[in-house]
Amino acid sequence: MMLICPQCTFPNSDHNKFCQNCGTSLTDKIRIDTHDNVVLDINYFGDADIRLRDIESEQMQTLTQLENTCSLLSMSEISTDTVEVSSGENPDSSLTILQLDLDHETEDRIVNDQMTNIPLSPPLVSWEYAAYTDTGRQRNHNEDYFAIDSKVHKQELPEGASLTKRGLYILCDGMGGHAGGEVASKLAVNTIRKYFQQTWTSGELPNQESIKEAVYLANQAIYDLNQQQARSGMGRMGTTLVMLLLQDQQAAIAHVGDSRLYCLTPREGLVQLTIDHEVGQREISRGVEPTIAYGRADAYQLTQALGPRDQNYLDPDVSVFDIHEDMLLLLVSDGLSDNECLETHWQTHLQPLLSYDSDLEMGIQNLIELGNEYNGHDNITAILVRVKVSPSQPALSSI
């Protein structure tokens, strides 16, 4: 037997106390014969990954089919994972998200929340990071500079708890000699960091226009300083830039120059997500064979950098993507990426770091040592970001 809602005529299972469509009490029970044909209209219940199957209106021929469909509404438990957030100040800190056990009364509240457009908590992601910079074996000063700004915000409401996470990771490799490159890289990092502190105030990832604006402001700050100090030609200071922004399960990348960002996933291995702004790559984009393009004497000369020229000559690359699987994101200066160092050694020095039992701090120290042994001619800087997608999320295609 089934119960027909007196308010919306929705057919409900005999044991329901409230209508699963409109929430009306089923005190006034209208029973239907099991031989009747019944049309179902069951919708998604919310933004909290309580994904009930969206059943299009169709006639159900037997009581068994009908009861199986209605049983989809009888979810009794929702659980979320522990979210660990590591920082340079307290790498062992962790934040545990409340585990919820829902009874029938709470199920009814979920229905009412959906009807009043109150969103439930989204799927959660945890990440941790490590960063390090080293002068290298042939330089006497370090022109690299980096900054990390990571925040976690937990909100408690009667409808439930929510957690939002964001991270800003910036790496710059300065040029222009002592008191030139050092100044340019630090000025660029701090200009961008302050810009997002003032503008990144919502719970959404900044759009591409906003990200480009941050890059343009950094370029202008260095360019103006060059003008004030009457620097010219090769004496003009500048810097490369690679930047990663994370907001929950969304990410954005921006870069200028030859500092790189790599992504490592279990299925795709190591993938370089940025393309160097240098003469060789410019020629390849024009259709020149790679061997010819990089046979030029100026193949590794930068075609873009922050500071030497004004905004009219700057075209930063910005891209946005969703994170659907566990991954390791790596921002590096060319002291580590030169001579295909990472492409050659990623299986020994990066792949083990996908495991959450591995130590990121130790891993990044090993990377710096590798860079010094394999290259060593330049400053070496790396930022590692390890992201874990909630097990409740299906593993989709990698970025």
DSSP string over 194-233 = HHHHHH--SSSPPPHHHHHHHHHHHHHHHHHHHHHTT--G
User: pLDDT tens digits for 278-334?
Assistant: 999 999 999 999 999 999 999 999 999 999 999 999 999 999 999 988 999 999 999
What per-residue confidence (pLDDT) applies to 153? 73
Beta bridge partners of 60: 38
Residue pair 31/4 in contact (Cβ under 8 Å)? The answer is yes
Answer with the residue of higher pLDDT: 308 or 120: 308
For the chain, the straight-line distance linking the first and the last C-alpha, in angstroms and rounded, comes to: 50
Rounded CA separation 381/240 (Å): 12
Does residue 114 have a pLDDT over 90?
Answer: no
What per-residue confidence (pLDDT) applies to 366? 95
CA trace torsion 243, 249, 250, 256 (10° rounding): 20
Poorest-pLDDT segment among 159-163, 209-213, 364-368: 159-163
Does residue 104 have a pLDDT over 80?
Answer: no
Q: What is the mean pLDDT of residues 78-86?
A: 32
Q: Which class for 28: exposed (0-12), middle (13-18), buried (19 or more C-beta within 10 A)?
A: exposed
Query: Which amino acid type is present at position 228?
Result: Q
Closest CA to 128 of 172, 174, 93, 164: 93
Does pTM surpass 0.85?
A: no
The edge-to-edge listing of strands for the beta sheet with 380-389 is 125-134, 380-389, 327-332, 260-265, 269-272
DSSP reduced 3-state for 181? helix
Residue 261 has a CB neighbour count (10 Å cut-off) of: 24
DSSP reduced 3-state for 342? helix
Residue pair 317/219 in contact (Cβ under 8 Å)? The answer is no
Residue-averaged pLDDT of the chain: 76
What per-residue confidence (pLDDT) applies to 164? 72
Structure tokens at 254: 């921006």
Residue 249 has a CB neighbour count (10 Å cut-off) of: 19
What per-residue confidence (pLDDT) applies to 154? 72
Residue found under tokens 């921002």: 331
Separate counts of helices (H) and strands (E) for the chain: 9, 18
Residue found under tokens 């074996």: 137
Residue pair 277/342 in contact (Cβ under 8 Å)? The answer is no
Rounded CA separation 160/285 (Å): 51
- % of the chain exceeding 70 in pLDDT: 66
pLDDT band at 133 (very low <50, low <70, confident <90, very high): very high
**DSSP 8-state secondary structure symbol assigned to residue 177:** S
Structure tokens at 103: 């009874």
Q: 238-239 and 380-389: which strand pairing?
A: unpaired
What per-residue confidence (pLDDT) applies to 321? 94
Q: What is the mean pLDDT of residues 188-199?
A: 97
User: pLDDT tens digits for 323-377?
Assistant: 988 999 999 999 999 999 999 999 999 999 999 889 999 999 999 999 999 998 8
**What is the per-residue DSSP string for 318-369?**
EEEEE--S-EEEEEE-HHHHGGGHHHHHHHHHTGGGGSTTS-HHHHHHHHHH
